[in-house]
């Protein structure tokens, strides 16, 4: 089956500083399997002790992750785990988390439920932009979620190079079942960076519906 692609942002960078970006997908909740690619970086200058980053799907533009959502599913990096974000001056420069991030999870109402993590850690570059990727598939009991994030400091700037989304040797996490009661109305992409002092810069967001 041919895929359907929707792109947000484009050439201008979006900066999130304790802010959430939410956009409804062109096909709404009419999907079974999709991928979200986020090309990102930041003007980091040192360690960040406690900043969280969430990528996932939510219901519309009002029931979002930052507020009290009906449902959200995705991955998140909790800065308090793994020793926070540690800065490497390089070149190339980046911030990276310890081995307990990212995490799979879901949110219903105000309650965020953690369902597992891997031990690879992840990087957000300064010198070179790179892709974080989330794959979500609907199942009979919830969702099957996996992701790819840079497990080493990116050495290639991949903005605009979608065929090189894995040029920096990103590792794929195993699939994780995220099972909870759902009414199948997840129709919007949600990105949330909680740190106010330095913004997370988003150069491009690509959403692909495979089924």
Report which of 72, 74, 164, 84 is spatially closest to residue 124, judged by C-alpha positions: 84
pLDDT at 6: 47
Residue 164 confidence (pLDDT): 56
Mean pLDDT of the chain: 80
Closest CA to 56 of 150, 153, 132: 132
Higher pLDDT, 143 or 81: 143
Res. 178: pLDDT tops 80: no
Positive or negative, the CA dihedral 205, 84, 151, 43 is positive
Q: What is the mean pLDDT of residues 181-207?
A: 86
pLDDT for residue 173 is more than 50: yes
Q: Which two tokens stand for residue 3?
A: 């895929």
Average pLDDT, stretch 127-139? 87
Average pLDDT over residues 77-101: 80
| 186 contact partners, CB below 8 Å, separation of at least 6 | 29, 57, 58, 59, 71, 72, 73
Comparison of pLDDT for 129 and 57, the residue scoring more:
57
Domain layout of the chain by residue ranges = 4-209
Domain 4-209 belongs to what topology?
Answer: Jelly Rolls (2.60.120)
């Amino acid at each position: 089956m041919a895929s359907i692609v929707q792109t947000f942002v484009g050439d201008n960078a979006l900066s999130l500083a304790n802010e959430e970006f939410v956009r409804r997908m062109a096909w709404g909740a009419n999907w079974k399997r999709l991928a979200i690619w986020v090309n990102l970086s930041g003007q980091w200058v040192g360690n960040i002790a406690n900043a969280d980053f969430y990528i996932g799907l939510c219901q519309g533009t009002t029931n979002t992750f930052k507020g009290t959502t009906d449902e959200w599913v995705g991955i998140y990096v909790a800065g308090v785990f793994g020793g926070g974000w540690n800065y490497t001056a390089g070149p190339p420069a980046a911030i990276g988390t310890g081995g307990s991030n990212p995490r799979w999870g879901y949110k219903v109402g105000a309650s965020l439920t953690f369902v597992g993590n891997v031990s690879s850690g992840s990087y957000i570059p300064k010198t070179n932009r790179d892709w974080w990727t989330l794959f979500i598939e609907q199942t009979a009991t919830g969702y099957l979620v996996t992701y790819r994030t840079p497990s080493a400091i990116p050495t290639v700037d991949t903005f605009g190079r979608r065929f090189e989304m894995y040029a920096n040797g990103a590792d794929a996490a195993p699939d994780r079942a995220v099972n909870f009661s759902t009414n199948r109305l997840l129709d919007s992409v949600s990105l949330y960076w909680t740190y106010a002092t330095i913004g997370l810069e988003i150069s491009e967001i690509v959403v692909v519906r495979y089924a």
